C-alpha cells in the first residue's frame, strides 16, 4: 500500500479558513433570508366608512314602481386617495405630507363606500325617492336627478379638522359647483378620524338633498317646483361624537 504524501501545513490551514469563511457567509445569508422572507408583519386593521346599518335604509323602503328615481354616478377620487390604505396628513401645516397607513386599510373601495353612504343619507332625507345603486335592468324612465361627484380633497392630520372639498353636479340642468365641508374628530384615534370622514360625507349628502328636493314631485303628485336653492359654495362644520 502506497503512503499518501504529506500535505503542506500552510495549505491545510488555508483550506480550513476558506471553508469556515464559506460557512459563516452561508449562515449570514440564511439569517438575512429568514428575516426578510420568513418573518410576518402584523395583519392590517380593516375599516369601513359606511356602517353596516345603512343597508337597513335600503331594505326598509316600500315605494311604488313610479317613484322618482335618483341616480348616483360612480364617485371619482384623487389618485392619492384611490388606494386601500387610509391616508392622513402628517400635520396641520400647509406643507404637510400625505401619509398612507399600511396598518389601517379600507375593507371596501373608498369610492364605493362614499357612494353607498351618500345614497343611504339621501334616502333618509328624501323619503319619496328611490335609489338603485346596482340596477340589474336598464330603467325605462329618466331619473329625476343624477348626481355626479368628484372628491378633490378629503384628508386631515389625526385629531385635526377634516376638510372635504368636492365638485358636484345635478344633471340634467344644474351647473357644476365646488363645496367645502368640515368635520372635527373627537380625538386623535383612527376610529374618530373615520367618524369625521363619515360626518363630512353626511354634510355633503344633506347639501345634495336640499338641491334635489325641489326637483321631485310633491307628495300630492304635483310637478316639481321651479325654485331651486342658490348656487353657492357651502362650508359646514360639525364635530363628531363618540
Q: Kindly write down the DSSP assignment for every residue of the chain, as one continuous string.
A: -PPPPPPPHHHHHHHHHHHHHHHHHHHHHHHHHIIIIIS-PPPPEEE-SS-TTHHHHHHT----TT--BEEEPPPB--TTTSSSEEEEESSSSTTPPEEEEEEEEESS-HHHHHHHHHHHHHHHH-TT-B--SS-SS--SS--SEEEEEEEEEEE--TTSPEEEEEEEEEETTPPPEEEEEEEE-SSSSHHHHHHHHHHHHHHHHHHHHHHHGGGSPPTT-PPPPS--------EEEEE---
- Please report, rounded to a whole number, the percentage of residues in the chain having pLDDT higher than 90: 51
Per the structure block, which three cell numbers stand in for 177? 359647483
Higher pLDDT, 31 or 105: 105
Residue 58 confidence class, pLDDT cut points 50, 70, 90: low
- 6-22 per-position pLDDT tens digit: 555 555 545 544 554 55
- pLDDT(4) > 70: no
pLDDT given at position 175: 87
pLDDT given at position 65: 75
Sign of the C-alpha dihedral computed for residues 54, 55, 56 and 59 taken in this order: positive
User: Residue ranges of the domains in the chain?
Assistant: 45-239
Q: What is the CATH number of domain 45-239?
A: 3.40.50.10610
pLDDT given at position 133: 83
Q: Are 210 and 236 in contact (CB under 8 A)?
A: no
Mean pLDDT, the chain, as a whole number? Answer: 79
Length of the chain: 242
Distance CA 7, CA 64 (A): 101
- 113-131 per-position pLDDT tens digit: 999 999 999 999 998 898 8
Amino acid at each position: 500500500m502506497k503512503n499518501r504524501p504529506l500535505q503542506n501545513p500552510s495549505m491545510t490551514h488555508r483550506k480550513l479558513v476558506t471553508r469556515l469563511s464559506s460557512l459563516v457567509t452561508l449562515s449570514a445569508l440564511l439569517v438575512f433570508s429568514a428575516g426578510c422572507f420568513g418573518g410576518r408583519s402584523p395583519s392590517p386593521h380593516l375599516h369601513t366608512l359606511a356602517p353596516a346599518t345603512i343597508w337597513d335604509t335600503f331594505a326598509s323602503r316600500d315605494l311604488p314602481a313610479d317613484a322618482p328615481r335618483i341616480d348616483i354616478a360612480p364617485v371619482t377620487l384623487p389618485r392619492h386617495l384611490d388606494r386601500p390604505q387610509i391616508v392622513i396628513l402628517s400635520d396641520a401645516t400647509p406643507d404637510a405630507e400625505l401619509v398612507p397607513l399600511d396598518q389601517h386599510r379600507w375593507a371596501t373601495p373608498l369610492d364605493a363606500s362614499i357612494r353607498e353612504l351618500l345614497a343611504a343619507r339621501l334616502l333618509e332625507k328624501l323619503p319619496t325617492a328611490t335609489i338603485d345603486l346596482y340596477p340589474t335592468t336598464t330603467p325605462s324612465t329618466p331619473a329625476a336627478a343624477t348626481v355626479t361627484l368628484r372628491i378633490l380633497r378629503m384628508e386631515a392630520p389625526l385629531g385635526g379638522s377634516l376638510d372635504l372639498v368636492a365638485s358636484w353636479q345635478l344633471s340634467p340642468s344644474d351647473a357644476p359647483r365646488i363645496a367645502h365641508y368640515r368635520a372635527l374628530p373627537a380625538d386623535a384615534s383612527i376610529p374618530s378620524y373615520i367618524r369625521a370622514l363619515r360626518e363630512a360625507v353626511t354634510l355633503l349628502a344633506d347639501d345634495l338633498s336640499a338641491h334635489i328636493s325641489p326637483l321631485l314631485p310633491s307628495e300630492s303628485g304635483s310637478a316639481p317646483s321651479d325654485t331651486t336653492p342658490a348656487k353657492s359654495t357651502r362650508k359646514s362644520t360639525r364635530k363628531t361624537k363618540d
